Amino acid sequence: MSQKERDRLHWLKLAQHRKITQKQAAERMEVSARWVRELLRRLKRKGDRAVVHGLRNRSSNRKIAEAVRKRAIELVRTEYEAFGPTLAAEYLSEKHGLEVSKETLRKWMIEARLWRAKRAKITAVHVWRQRRECFGELVQWDTSEHDWLEGRGPKLYLAAMIDDATSRALAHFVEHDTTAENMRLLWEWLERFGRPLEYYTDKAGLFQVNRPLHYNKHLEEAPALTQIGRALKELGVGWIAAHSAQAKGRIERFFGTAQDRLVKGLRKAGASTLEAANQYLEQLYWPMWEERFTVEPASGSDAHRPLLQHHHLAAILSHVEERVITNDYTFSFGGERYQILKSWIVPRMRGSRIRVEVRLDGTMAARWERRYVEISRCPLRPLSEPRGARPPKRSAGSSKRKGNRAWMDGFWERPTAPMWRAIQQSNRTS
C-alpha cells in the first residue's frame, strides 16, 4: 500500500469502530460521505484490500494494441530516426494514420533506445518577461546560421522577425547574412503590417557599429549609425539592443523549433536549393506555424503605424552615403566620378553635400536638398605618362666624392671651392 492508502485505512477503521463519524472520516480522507459508506461495506467483504484500487496490476482497458506499438516503433526506426517524440507523433498521425500521443510515443522510444530522456540543465536564472500587449509593439529580429539543407545544397541563413505579443513570424532563406538581405526582409514586413514601434536585435555589426572603448572611459562617444540603423531612424522606428541571447528568447526559441521541425520537413520534401527551401517555408511551414504557435494578444489594438507619403522605401532601404560637390559639379563615389547634368545645376551646389543612394535593385540615385538630380558617369581621364614613372636613381659611385648628394653636384667646381678645401685640410691637421 501507499502511504495515502494506509492513512485512508486508518480513518476507515476509526469510523468502523464508531470512534469518529463518517462525516469526519470523509473530511480527513477528502472524499464524500457516500464514498466512505461504500468503502466501509467493502471493508467488511474484502478486509484491508478495500482501499486498494481494483485495477492495480491489471492492464488498462484503454491500452493501445501491441501491434500498433510495434508498427509505430518500426516507422520511427526506419523513417523518423532523428525525429523527436512530438514531431514524430505528428508525422505518424498525418502520414500513417497512427493516433499516438507524444508522451506515449516518448515512452516507447525510450524503451526501444530511440530516444534519450533529457536531464534538466542547471543554468543561470533569467527573470521571465511578460509578452507585450499589442501586435506590433515589439518585433524581435535575428538571423540563424545552420545546416538547413543538411549538405544537399548551398549553405543558407534564415533571416527572421517575430512579433513579441502574438508570435506571428516572417522569415526567408538567404545565401548571405548581409545588410541588403535584411533590408529586403524589413521591406516585406513594412508593406505587409506597417511600421512597428520598436525592433529588438542583438549587437551584430548590421545593427550597431562595434568599436573599441574611448581612451577616456568616462566619456561616451555617440556611435555612428549603420545603414539599417539609419533606415529605422528615417522610418521613425525605435531600436533596442539585447545584452544577451536569453534577452531575446522569443526569436531564439523560434530558431530552436525551426532547426528541428523545418530541417526535417525540408528533408522529407527533398529540398536542395534556395528556391525550394523558400517555397516549402511559404506553402507548408507558415500555415502550420500560424495554426499551432501564434497566440492572441492581450490587447486587440494594432500598434503598427501606416507608411506615410514621404516614406519612400526604395530610397530609405538602400545604401546611403554623402559626398561633396566640387567646383565642376562632380563628385566621387565607388572609385569613379559622376557629373551632375547641366539642366539640374542650381546655385549653392558647389561645396555642398549630396546624398548618394545605391538601391536594392542595383540602381543609383543622387538627391540634393530634397530633390533628385540626374547624373552621368564621367569618362576616365587619360594619363600623360605611366603612373609611377620616376627618373632613375643616381648610383652611389657616380658622385665625385664619397658621401656627396644631388644638391652638392658641381659644388667643388665653384670659385669658392679652394677656400673650403683649405678649411677641411686645417680641420684634419688640427
Query: What DSSP assignment string belongs to 318-344?
Result: SEEEEEE--TTSEEEETTEEEEE-GGG
Question: Would you say the pTM of this structure is higher than 0.75?
Answer: no
Nearest CA among 143, 132, 160 for reference residue 289 = 160
Q: Do 36 and 145 have their domain in common?
A: no
- Decide: helix, strand or coil at residue 376: strand
For 160, the enclosing helix (H) or strand (E) is strand 157-163
Which residues have CB under 8 Å from 145's CB, separation 6+?
Answer: 157, 177
Residue 354 and residue 348: Cα distance in Å, rounded?
Answer: 12
Instruction: Give the single-character DSSP code of 63.
Output: P
**Within a domain: 200:** yes
pLDDT tens over the chain, length 430 residues = 788 888 888 888 899 888 899 999 999 888 999 999 998 998 888 888 888 887 777 777 788 888 999 999 999 999 998 898 999 999 999 889 899 999 999 999 998 888 887 776 655 556 677 899 999 999 999 999 999 999 999 999 999 999 999 999 999 999 999 999 999 999 999 999 999 999 999 989 899 887 766 565 555 566 789 999 999 999 999 999 988 888 888 999 999 999 999 999 999 999 999 999 999 999 999 999 999 999 999 988 899 999 999 999 999 999 999 999 999 999 999 889 999 999 999 999 999 999 999 999 999 999 999 899 999 999 876 655 555 555 555 555 544 444 555 555 665 565 555 665 665 666 565 5
Closest to 355 measured CA to CA, from 341, 345, 369:
369
Is 99 inside a domain boundary? Answer: yes
CB 112 within 8 A of CB 70: no
Question: 301 in a domain, yes or no?
Answer: no
Residues 160 and 287 in one domain: yes
CB burial of 103-128 (b: ≥16 within 10 Å; e: otherwise) equals eebbebbeeeebbeeeeeeeeeeeee
The CA dihedral of 43, 47, 51, 54, to the nearest 10 degrees, is -100
Co-location of 144 and 264 in the same domain: yes
Domain-located, residue 134? no
**Domain co-membership, 78 together with 201:** no
**DSSP assigned state of 134:** S
Q: Are 284 and 328 in a shared domain?
A: no
Nearest to 149 by CA among 276, 255, 257, 256: 276
Same domain, 321 and 365: yes
412 is in which domain, residue-wise? Answer: 396-421
Whether residues 174 and 242 share a domain: the answer is yes
Tell me: do 287 and 415 sit in the same domain: no
Both 106 and 143 in one domain: the answer is no
Report if residue 410 sits inside a domain: yes
- Cα–Cα distance for residue pair 8/15, rounded to 1 Å: 11
| Predicted local confidence at residue 119, as pLDDT | 74
CB-based contact 265:286 (threshold 8 Å): no
Is 408 part of a structural domain of the chain?
yes
Give the separation between CA 380 and CA 56, rounded to whole angstroms.
Answer: 94
Who contacts 297 (Cβ-Cβ below 8 Å, separation ≥6)? 131, 132, 133, 134, 135, 165, 166
Same domain, 20 and 84: no
Report the number of secondary-structure helices (H) and strands (E) in the chain: 14, 12
Task: Please indicate, yes or no, if residue 234 is contained in any of the structural domains.
Answer: yes
Residue type, 429: T
Q: Which helix (H) or strand (E) holds 355?
A: strand 353-358
Of 269, 218, 227, which is closest to residue 91 (Cα–Cα)?
Answer: 269
Same domain, residue pair 103 and 245? no
**Residue 259 forms part of a structural domain:** yes
Domain count, the chain: 5
Same domain? For 159 and 261 the reply is: yes
